[in-house]
């Protein structure tokens, strides 16, 4: 029971500590290695561990910080040590001992432990705060104010584990923290928290942060209201990276199912049917017929009417841009670098013809892709021409000037955000569209 508080004896891994006189001699005249080796003994007399807490050598103080038999009073000193590694070692040790801390140890002991914990949780170095956050993330016997403080930390590596796991945060806490603004990996980890209620899930959706919404969809323990789900579906239509988690979510309403079937690729229709018990045989047949008709008449990537950007009319094959693209192609010199340069320089007409030759698809198909600003088609062309997904992103962002939240981006692994079958299908649609 917390022998470490008062420097109690424990069996030592390195063997028994030297006797008192020898320990005193090492403390007074030994070099830093000797003092460090002495400080590693868990059965060393407490007065020496206390003395070593202010040793001039940081490696000695780090050893004292890691020693579970160090008196609590010495740990208070170490919590403000000027060596970051000392404070990290102390944080890890306190974390391993906290689960055993209870009212039985007395109010004074608990107050000292929590004083150390709070000091480290306020440390100016994120790494130290992150150690504390990781150690207490699942505990319910620490002051809620400390968990709340860490949950609001500006550093994701500190806040994220608390937001995902801490049982001390209430739904009201989560809503208040979300209301102050949250993005990136911190928000993603909150979205993965178990048993989120409708209000918190809705607040995550309202951020319009696509990675966090994807994590929320994958979190089967989270409750998502019908209103929030409809908002997700609206956001998901142009975002390929949301399609798979959406169709695998399950429990969707009939209205949402039909909406989703209106834009996902053919390869995702069966999972959509499989994961939603509401879909009976008749409804499944209707969905398949609807998707089949949609695929026959349009590119599902983007059927929105948009104005044709200036310079997109590829016109006559006698244009200089066409002749230049054709000559380069026939010479085998139509390289990816030339295509990237054309995109960077907004040489739209040449780029259209060059992509037509490079991808072996009709120029009219390229023209329609540019007219519709079709993100999926851009990915399919980049994939077939081995240009990489970033080419398709640059096409959407730089040439078509799409809003950032509408751009289809690479997946988490940096690869294409569509399956090979969907990319092949989209490319085939363009090739046959003459």
Domain ranges (residues) in the chain:
320-431
Is the model's pLDDT at 225 over the cut of 50? yes
In angstroms, the CA 199 to CA 242 distance is 21
Report which of 81, 100, 105, 98 is spatially closest to residue 134, judged by C-alpha positions. 98
In angstroms, the CA 203 to CA 218 distance is 16
Q: Quick one: average pLDDT of 215-241?
A: 90
Question: Residue 318: which pLDDT band, with cuts at 50, 70 and 90?
Answer: low
Q: What is the pLDDT of residue 110?
A: 87
Is the model's pLDDT at 284 over the cut of 80? no
Q: Which residue has the higher pLDDT, 262 or 212?
A: 212
Is the model's pLDDT at 303 over the cut of 60? no
- Mean pLDDT over each residue of the chain, to the nearest integer: 85
Question: Residue 300: which pLDDT band, with cuts at 50, 70 and 90?
Answer: very low
Distances (CA, A) of 17 to 39, 127, 244, 381: 9, 33, 60, 71
Distances (CA, A) of 347 to 49, 151, 307, 322, 361: 73, 49, 18, 12, 19
Q: Quick one: average pLDDT of 114-118?
A: 95
Secondary structure class of 415 (helix, strand, coil): coil
Is the model's pLDDT at 283 over the cut of 80? no
pTM higher than 0.85 for the full model?
Answer: no
**Residue 374: which residues within 8 A CB-CB, separation 6 or more?**
299, 301, 302, 368
Is the model's pLDDT at 5 over the cut of 60? no
């Amino acid at each position: 029971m917390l022998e470490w508080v008062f420097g109690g004896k424990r069996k030592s891994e390195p063997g028994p500590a030297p006797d008192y006189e020898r320990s005193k001699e090492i403390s007074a005249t030994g070099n830093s290695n000797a003092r460090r080796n002495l400080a590693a003994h868990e059965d060393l007399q407490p007065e020496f561990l206390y003395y070593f807490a202010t040793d001039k050598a940081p490696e000695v103080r780090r050893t004292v910080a890691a020693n579970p038999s160090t008196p609590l009073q010495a740990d208070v000193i170490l919590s403000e040590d000027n060596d970051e590694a000392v404070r990290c070692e102390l944080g890890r040790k306190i974390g391993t001992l906290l689960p055993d801390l209870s009212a039985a140890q007395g109010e004074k002991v608990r107050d000292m432990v929590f004083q150390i914990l709070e000091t480290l949780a306020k440390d100016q170095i994120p790494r130290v705060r992150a150690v504390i956050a990781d150690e207490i993330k699942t505990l319910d016997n620490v002051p809620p104010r400390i968990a709340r403080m860490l949950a609001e930390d500006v550093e994701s590596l500190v806040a994220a584990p608390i937001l995902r796991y801490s049982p001390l945060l209430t739904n009201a806490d989560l809503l208040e923290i979300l209301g102050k603004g949250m993005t990136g990996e911190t928000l993603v980890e909150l979205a993965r928290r178990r048993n989120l209620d409708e209000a918190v899930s809705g607040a995550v959706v309202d951020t319009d942060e696509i990675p966090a919404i994807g994590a929320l969809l994958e979190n089967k323990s989270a409750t998502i209201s019908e209103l929030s789900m409809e908002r997700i579906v609206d956001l998901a239509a142009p975002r390929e990276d949301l399609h798979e988690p959406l169709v695998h979510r399950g429990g969707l309403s009939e209205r949402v199912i039909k909406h989703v079937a209106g834009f996902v690729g053919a390869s995702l229709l069966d999972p959509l049917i499989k994961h939603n018990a509401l879909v009976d045989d008749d409804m499944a047949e209707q969905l398949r017929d609807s998707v089949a008709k949609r695929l026959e008449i349009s590119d599902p990537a983007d059927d929105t009417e948009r104005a044709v950007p200036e310079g997109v009319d590829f016109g006559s094959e006698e244009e200089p841009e066409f002749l230049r693209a054709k000559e380069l192609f026939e010479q085998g010199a139509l390289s990816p670098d030339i295509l990237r340069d054309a995109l960077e320089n907004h040489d739209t007409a040449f780029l259209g013809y060059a992509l037509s030759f490079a991808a072996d698809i009709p120029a009219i198909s390229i023209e329609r892709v540019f007219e519709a600003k079709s993100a999926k088609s851009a990915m399919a062309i980049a994939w077939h021409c081995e240009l990489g997904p970033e080419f398709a992103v640059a096409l959407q962002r730089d040439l078509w000037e799409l809003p950032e939240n509408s751009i289809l981006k690479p997946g988490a692994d940096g690869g294409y955000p569509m399956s090979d079958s969907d990319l092949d299908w989209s490319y085939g649609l363009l090739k046959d569209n003459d």
